[in-house]
Amino acid sequence: MKLKITDHIINLKPYKSGNMLDKSTSRDDFKKLINLASNENQLGSSPKAKQFIVDALGDISIYPDTASSELVGKLAEHLGKNPSEIICGSGSDSLLAYIVTTFSDRGDEILTAQGTFIGIYTNSNKQGRVVKTVPLIDYKFDLNGIIDAINPNTKIIYLANPNNPTGTMFTHQEFVSFMTKVPDHILVVLDEAYYLYSQDYPDYPSGLSYKYDNMIVLQTLSKSYGLAGLRIGYAVGSSDLIGLLYKVKLPFEPNNLAQKAALGALEDEEFLQRTKVLNDKTLKQMLAKFDELGVKYAPPVANFVMIVFETEEKALNFTAKCLENGVVVRPLASFGIPNGVRISTGTEEQIHYALNVFERALKEI
């Protein structure tokens, strides 16, 4: 190739999702497996969301509303915010890319944890930013360590709460103490992709309850709302910050069907409650089994649990044994935790089968 490609692009590794085994696995074959690797809603999608999609099929020849006006208005009402404080995008990944573009420059540092959402590493690296990481402590964000790592090149701090892939959280007191120490010129991105699963835990610091001029909160409809296949999320911050993001956002995202599905999903409280009840039940079942088997795990407050092995080899062997028996789980080397495996909750039938598979796999390795 004669084209000159910059080093930071050449050195990138393509993102591999939890539901892509290898190129030889067809989508139909994959559907026959129990996928506990992707943190998806195992109940599927809201019936109201599906009906809104059907009703919107006549509009797919029309370009989407560039400002997602109806959805932003609905979100503003739902969240108790001003519409000028909200922007929608094609999932958290899309919004993260816009945030990195807007609030940092080539060579600037993005500060986060070693062992968090892979999207922040990818979106930073592909834009030539420097990713600086601080180790987790007990699989939780070390907020004091992040404060100590701030330097003149730090432009953005990324936090995920609950953290993906560990499922752990930091508390209200820890977060408020942290924010008092962050300089005003540094943007804090608080990713709350799993907040609907964690918001009822004591001391969970719901990002939208705080008012910081240097903070943007990310939330998504992919997880609890069951819209992962449509890719839709939103960011909430001051009108000034959100106004800047609109300058770099691709004009026609999210697409029409995603916007309409989100409107339907936000109206379906019954589906959301069923989702939360199922998650609580199957998560407890998994933790009880792991306690019985003496398996180490990080205390989770989301819709998944990370189990921890002595070595990466054992983690990979466990993953392979599960796959041989039709259960897909997520090894975490690409997240920076090579000896960890993330396991999502599922339906009662899925978890009943999967727990038997886990027990056999653990004995075999």
pLDDT band at 271 (very low <50, low <70, confident <90, very high): very high
Q: Tell me the average pLDDT of the chain.
A: 94
Same domain, 253 and 173: yes
Q: What is the pTM of this model?
A: 0.93
Confidence of residue 32 (pLDDT cuts 50, 70, 90): confident
Residues in the chain: 365
CATH number, domain with residue 262: 3.40.640.10
Query: Quick one: residue 167, left, alpha or beta (phi over 0 = left, psi -120 to 50 = alpha)?
Result: left
Question: Which of 211, 233, 267 is the endpoint of a domain?
Answer: 267
Interval 213-232: pLDDT, tens: 999 999 999 999 999 999 99
Is the pLDDT assigned to residue 281 strictly greater than 80? Answer: yes
* Residue 129 DSSP class: P
Q: What pLDDT shows up at residue 3?
A: 72
pLDDT, position 20: 46
Beta bridge partners of 78: none
* 3-state SS assignment for residue 89: strand
**Residue 95: pLDDT band with limits 50, 70, 90:** very high
Local confidence band at 288 (pLDDT 50, 70, 90 cut-offs): very high
Q: pLDDT tens-digit profile of 321-330? A: 999 999 999 9
**pLDDT classification of 18: cutoffs 50, 70, 90:** low
pLDDT surpassing 90 at residue 1: no
Contacts of residue 345, defined as CB under 8 A and 6 or more positions apart, other chains included, come to 36, 42, 278, 279, 282, 283, 286, 303, 304, 351
- pLDDT tens digit sequence for 145-195: 999 999 999 999 999 999 999 999 999 999 999 999 999 999 999 999 999
Choose one of 215, 236, 267: the last residue of a domain.
267
Place of tokens 């090579």: 338
Domain boundary among 219, 241, 267: 267
Count of structural domains within the chain: 2
Q: Are residues 238 and 164 in the same domain?
A: yes
Domain that holds residue 32: 7-44+270-364
pLDDT digits (tens, 9 = 90+) for 35-44: 999 999 999 9
Same domain, 323 and 345: yes
Q: Is residue 2 part of a domain?
A: no
Structure token pair of residue 222: 């992919």
* Residue 33 sits in the same domain as residue 90: no
Domain CATH number, residue 334 = 3.90.1150.10
> Which residue is associated with the tokens 């019954």?
270
